[in-house]
Amino acid sequence: MKIELVGSSIGAGATRQNLTSYIINDCVAIDAGSLGLVVPLARQLAIQHVLLSHSHIDHVATLPIFLDNVFSPDRECPKVYASSNVWDCLARDVFNDRLWADLSGIALEEGQFYTPIELQSESTFKIAGLSITPVSVNHSVPTLGFLVEDDRVAILIASDTGPTERIWELARQQLFYSKLRAIFLECSYSNSYEWLAIKTAHLCPRLFAAEFAKIPLNLSILPIAVHLKGWLYETIEAELALLSLPGICFGDVVKTWDL
Ligand SMILES: [Zn+2]
Ligand SMILES: [Zn+2]
């Protein structure tokens, strides 16, 4: 399984992921924070499925741009997967003929920009050789993390979350756990802003470590810290490095993992 973190910062040496998007096996995207910025355009055209974890702007910002970039009446449109809460938000706040065109309305006359699919927590589905289970996590708006597996390996993308339980419970189940190779967990704030992490349902290094205590770690599981706030980046990085998590790496740098 190939997992890529899409970059979203501009300029020489820019490696931070200020907006969130993952691309798996070149054809499945999780979140569309920076998906519409990927070059060359052929890479966007290769994306057949876009899964949205929640409605926050750093996760959906370039969805309209992406859909516009890949639209053609002559080709199959991408499938977009989201919970009913996210669809409701996108209809009212994004595709509302003010911020962006109501693509579903246009679709009736001109061809489809996307096929909408509703995600349900803990309802597993299969796309592009992957088995994907969305799981509700604990964030300030309804949010899904994702358990993703193929025949050989599994990964956990927790998405934006504060302290949470159910996704760990499912990840500890033997069939999934035996294939688990990487955990992408957010760490938005530094320890001195734990109060803000709790208020906004995010994590700081202390809470990040407490989440990892909910699953037995071994050397074949890579802990990957993502979603570090730019204004606290160096502090969070230093505090995470002090945790006794072997192999911890930082996903805010543009990286690809071949697992
Ligand atoms: Zn969020
Ligand atoms: Zn976020």
Q: How many separate helices (H) and strands (E) can be counted in the chain?
A: 10, 14
Pick the ligand that lies closest to the CA of residue 54: 1
Interatomic CA distance for residues 219 and 188, integer angstroms: 25
Per-residue confidence band for 180, with pLDDT thresholds at 50, 70 and 90: very high
The residue to which tokens 């599981």 are assigned? 221
HSE of 252 in the Cβ direction (CA atoms, 13 Å)? Answer: 21
* d(C-alpha 183, C-alpha 158), whole Å: 8
Residue 187: the pLDDT is 97
Structural tokens at position 5 = 């973190």
Question: In terms of pLDDT, which residue wins out, 210 or 253?
Answer: 210
Q: What is the pLDDT of residue 236?
A: 96
Asked if residue 97 has pLDDT above 80, the reply is: yes
- pTM greater than 0.85: yes
Which of the ligands is closest to the CA of residue 142? 1
Tell me phi and psi for residue 41, to 5 degrees: -55, -30
User: In terms of Cα–Cα distance, which of 137, 60, 141 is closest to 100?
Assistant: 60
The stretch 145-168 carries a mean pLDDT of 98
Give the tens place of pLDDT for each residue, 135-156: 999 999 999 999 999 999 999 9
Ligand sitting nearest the alpha carbon of 201 = 1
Q: Which two tokens stand for residue 47?
A: 């994306």
pLDDT score of 256: 87
DSSP 8-state code for residue 111: -
Q: Break the chain into its structural domains and give their ranges.
A: 2-258
CB 214 within 8 A of CB 208: no
- In sequence order, the 6+-apart residues with CB closer than 8 A to the CB of 94 are 60, 63, 64, 100
Mean pLDDT for the stretch of residues 220-241: 94
Return phi, psi of residue 147, to 5°: -100, 120
pLDDT confidence of residue 219: 86
Going from the Cα of 139 to the center of ligand 1, the distance in angstroms, rounded, reads 7
Q: What is the dihedral of CA 105, 109, 115, 116, to 10 degrees?
A: 20
Q: Which fold has domain 2-258?
A: Metallo-beta-lactamase; Chain A (3.60.15)
Model confidence pLDDT, tens digit, residues 72-87: 988 899 999 999 999 9
Residues 6+ positions from 173 with CB-CB distance below 8 Å? none
**Per-residue pLDDT, 29:** 98
Higher-pLDDT residue of 181, 107: 181
Residue-level pLDDT at 109: 62
Task: Report the separation in Å between the CA atom of 57 and the middle of ligand 2, taken as the mean of its atom positions.
Answer: 8
Distance CA 201, CA 144 (A): 13
pLDDT at 7: 87
Distance 99 CA to ligand 1 centre (A): 20
Centre of ligand 1 from the C-alpha of residue 140, in Å: 7
